[in-house]
Amino acid sequence: MKRFDNKVAMITGAGQGVGKAVTNIFAKDGASLCIVDINLEGVKRLENDLTKSGVKALAVCADVSNLTDVNEAVKTAISCFGKIDILVNNASVSGTKRILDITEQDWDYVFNVNVKGAFFMLQAVVRKMIESGNGGCVVNISSVAGRPGGRQFLLHYAASKAAVISMTQSAALALAKNNIRVNSIAPGTIDTPMWQKVASDLAACEGCEVEEILEERPRAVPLGRLARPDDIASAVAYLCSDDAAYITGQTLNVCGGLVMS
């Protein structure tokens, strides 16, 4: 028997990077999948690949910062699968700017996706979990940027990820009586296309070449490399499994030792 046989997992930001890696590990471990992304083409392609391999999968196009989209995505998942056992709140955007250059639009964009989107997706899904009476599991993707310590060129992004950690703790406390566990993962730098864009923006802020950023970052990690999407996906799957049945309200650093706490 596989870890997630008879489980339905809903994963946001599933079209690429960490979300795609999470989707694939859940698929291998027997879950049925509702994969959500603002990019319909990406998740449709993934849905097709999963279906060909015998996995029950449903692609849904949704902007998590839009409450109507969130509610429709959850409604669609329930209509298709009848339940949601696991939510992985992975959809996220970054922001890299000097503190005096951050605009209201920059702030709202990051917080609308990373905080508002994560909260209202959690709220909509746990309503269904509570109605079912079978409990459930939520994993929010935060970042080590949300941990203590300054991030001078990532202020609004770091603040949003700190909010995700706080939200995780409060939700875990509120939902424990319903047998719903809520945890989060705090990755370090992950080798994805998003990192390439962040590195370019950091170089502009610091007035250096992007190659310097790309070469320096792995050297700063005690384990000597950037995270791979599969590193994060494996940690997510663990927190959603029965092996983590007594873990809730925690944030697990998956960062190669970049942050130790």
Q: Of 109, 157, 238, 246, which residue is the catalytic one?
A: 157
109 is catalytic: no
- 225, pLDDT greater than 90: yes
Compute the average pLDDT of residues 45-65. Answer: 97
Question: Of the candidates 49, 85, 44, which has an alpha carbon nearest to the alpha carbon of residue 61?
Answer: 44
6-22 pLDDT, tens per residue? 999 999 999 999 999 99
Domains of the chain: 8-189+228-254 (3.40.50.720)
pLDDT grade, residue 227 (50/70/90)?
very high
User: Whole-number mean pLDDT of the chain?
Assistant: 95
Query: In percent, how much of the chain has pLDDT > 70?
Result: 100
- Both tokens of 117, joined, read 């989107």
Q: Is 96 left (phi over 0), alpha (psi -120 to 50) or beta?
A: beta
Instruction: Enter the pTM of the model.
Output: 0.95
Compute the average pLDDT of residues 196-206. Answer: 86
Location of structure tokens 């719903």: 180
Q: Which residues pair with 11 in a beta bridge?
A: 35, 88
96-154 pLDDT, tens per residue? 999 999 999 999 999 999 999 999 999 999 999 999 999 999 999 999 999 988 788 99
